[in-house]
Structure 1
Amino acid sequence: MKGRTISLILALAALLALGACSAGYKERTLDYLGKRPTTGPFFKEDNTPMVELNYNAGDQISNQLEERLPPGSPITVSMFRLRGSTLQTDFAKVLTEQVASRIAQKGFAIVADSSRFPLAALDEDLAPPEKCVLAGAYSVGKEQIFVTAAVSTVADGEILGSWDWTVPLNSKTKALLPIKEDPDIYPMVNTSGPYEKRTPTQSSAQPQYVPDQFNNQPGFEQDIMN
């Protein structure tokens, strides 16, 4: 009887040890595979300062203007537009001001009214100044904002300098856009049971803008200027 009791105790201890080992193995496996049920953001937010990206765009456009724009040419500024919409956002205002500011810092004449600006050549060996306009357009993607800006002549629309770049769609830029803030926290594993096929719907993190039905002509110039 005593021997049977000892055997039962040893068997129970072995079962407990086996269960502990199995649980430990499962925990290590979950850690290794990155499948531990938890919550967290899928991607680390890109917090590159917006002003750095826009100043770099201003530098690139200025470098092109140095080779093609006659000295003293006045450049008026048109508010950058959201493609497919007539909506003016705070993001567009900041974007436009920063690019224009950088071009002005590089020595170009950013003016409010080019009609008051003299168009006589500064020197007889130089071409006369050319009235120009800085304009741009942007589209909001899932993780980035895609921007294009150009300086073109008023007379014939010739593009003298342009640049394309992206701005991260993060908490700071979202605050300048009419986008409902999303917590960006998702379960890393399926915690809702069996997969169910659902009809795709537009994400709440995406902006819902009213399309501009009056300016639907294709073309680079139309996208920038209208």
Structure 2
Amino acid sequence: MKARTSIIITATIAIMAVSACSGYKERTLDYLGKRPTTGAFFKEDTTPMVDLNYKAANEISNQLEARLPPGSPITVTMFRMRGSTMQTDFAKVLTEQVASKIAQEGFAIVADSSRFPMAALDEDLAPPEKCVLAGAYSVGPEIISITAAVSTVTDGEILGSYDWNVPLNSKTRALLPIKESPFIEPLVNTSGPIEKTESSSGSFQPSNISGRQNSAPVFEQDILE
């Protein structure tokens, strides 16, 4: 009799344990969203790239409206990746979208400004000014940081500029050479401590800048070079 009672008690405890484990599993799945824990932790930003680029072009156009003489031709330079000479599909799409929107706002985007008339549209207006649209971008872990500017050809004066970010998602990633080269070269030292040398342990040594006195402004150089 005692043996039978012991068996019944053991079976009851086992059934209760299985039920408890099942309930715990369901609660755990509810907490985790019923998906594997190796899934994406953050939701991908799917904001269309064209919307962000058009907004940036609008900001630049608003600045040009007040500063650029009517009829001024604007040539376009392919936007570049900072620290690299590589031309990517992302740069092509980015450049085309920004230039296209500026043209839609009524500005003269041209392929060759040398063939464009430079006479003032009216005697009361300033003569047209040859300009160039240029830009640069950097790829980060989650975003792509972009800078674009329209500057004069004669003296490099910036008439309109804007900084903005585009999400690094599946669509923008497809326009970058990340598949072929998954390692994006960092802009900081990641190779370890820099060994001290006799030249670096002393006082600061200024660099030679005599060759840049007659060059364009630094901001423009950073974009074009």
Provide the TM-score with structure 2 as the length reference. Answer: 0.78
Partner of 2:139: 140
Partner of 1:116: 115
SS at match of 1:128: coil
Cα distance in 2 for partners of 1:90, 1:70 equals: 33
Of structures 1 and 2, the one with the larger relative CO (CA 8 A, separation 6+) is 1
* Aligned-residue offset at 1:38: 3.7
Cα distance in 2 for partners of 1:112, 1:75 equals: 8
Q: Percent identity?
A: 68
Partner of 1:199: none
- The letter for the 2-side match of 1:139 is S
Pairing of 1:171-182 with structure 2 (within 5 A): 171-180=170-179
Partner of 1:30: 28
- The letter for the 1-side match of 2:25 is E
Partner of 1:10: 8
Pairing of 1:82-161 with structure 2 (within 5 A): 82-161=81-160
1:207 corresponds, among 184, 189, 193, to: 184
Runs of 4+, deviation exceeding 4 Å: none
Partner of 1:49: 48
Check conservation: 1:139, 1:147, Cα contact below 8 A: yes
Aligned residues: 196
SS at match of 1:40: coil
- The letter for the 1-side match of 2:124 is D
* Aligned-residue offset at 1:170: 1.5
* Aligned-residue offset at 1:11: 1.6
Cα distance in 2 for partners of 1:38, 1:176 equals: 29
Provide the TM-score with structure 1 as the length reference. Answer: 0.78
- The letter for the 1-side match of 2:94 is L
Partner of 2:205: none
Cα distance in 1 for partners of 2:76, 2:86 equals: 17
Out of 99-108 and 29-38, give the one that drifted further.
29-38
* Aligned-residue offset at 1:116: 1.3
- The letter for the 1-side match of 2:127 is P
* Aligned-residue offset at 1:44: 2.0
Cα distance in 2 for partners of 1:152, 1:59 equals: 16
- The letter for the 2-side match of 1:86 is T
Gaps of 5+ in 2: 187-211
* Aligned-residue offset at 1:28: 4.7
